[in-house]
Amino acid sequence: MLRERKEQIINELADSLSRCTIVIATDYRGLSVREMVQLRRRLTDLGVDYRVVKNTLTRFAAERADKKQLEALLSGPLAIAFGYDDVVKPARALSEHIRSLGSVLQIKGGLLGDRLLNPEEVSALAAIPSRDVLISQLMGQLRAPLQILHNVLNAPLQGFLNIIQARIQQVEGG
């Protein structure tokens, strides 16, 4: 590989590492070309970059991007998923791919901010509900006390209304 090309790859990886919110390292050995293309399309649709990388070039890029923790994951053949917005999307997409196809793809770990994640933590991250679901759950939790307050304040008025309606029926009927 030409020196200029290596330098360009290091710069691209360093840029991706500095911009991303999560990095997930995977071992892609045993994947068919068809399965790899399918996985890349699925991840690209979610706004996730998935690249097969050389460990040495990635090590240099991690140093440039001040993500030296990533060096712990750099062993063996490696493909890295770079997530830029929602940290759950890449983890969920990779986990669903492995589960749905019975894929041999293995998650080696990840880097969330400055924290190194082991494979179990990446899987736990994939189990977190989506942002929209979390927001709706929060809104439901915020609404519940207001609903209770409404019912408590409304109960005496409802009781008074029932008494008046009973009295009206008694006067009309009797």
pLDDT tens sequence across 93-114: 999 999 888 888 899 999 998 8
Query: How far is Cα 114 from Cα 135, in angstroms, rounded to an integer?
Result: 26
User: Residue 173's pLDDT band (boundaries 50, 70, 90)?
Assistant: confident
DSSP assignment of 118-156 equals -HHHHHHHHTSPPHHHHHHHHHHHHHHHHHHHHHHHHHH
- Reply yes or no on whether the pLDDT at 4 is more than 70: yes
Q: Per-residue pLDDT tens for 67-77?
A: 988 899 998 89
Q: Per-residue pLDDT tens for 115-156?
A: 999 999 999 998 888 778 889 999 999 898 888 888 888 888
**Nearest Cα to 22, choosing from 100, 107, 101?**
107
**Average pLDDT estimate for 23-38:** 91
* pLDDT for 1: 63
DSSP state of 21: S
Burial (CB count within 10 angstroms: exposed 0-12, middle 13-18, buried 19+), residue 79: buried
Chain mean pLDDT for the chain: 90
User: Residue 86's pLDDT band (boundaries 50, 70, 90)?
Assistant: confident
**Average pLDDT estimate for 35-62:** 92
Longest CA pairwise span in the chain (Å): 104
Query: How far is Cα 42 from Cα 94, in angstroms, rounded to an integer?
Result: 9
Helices (H) and strands (E) in the chain, counts: 6, 5
- Which two tokens mark 128? 């977190």
**Average pLDDT estimate for 18-39:** 91
Q: Name, in order, each residue with C-beta under 8 angstroms of 48's C-beta and a sequence gap of 6 or more.
A: 81, 82, 83, 84, 89, 90, 93
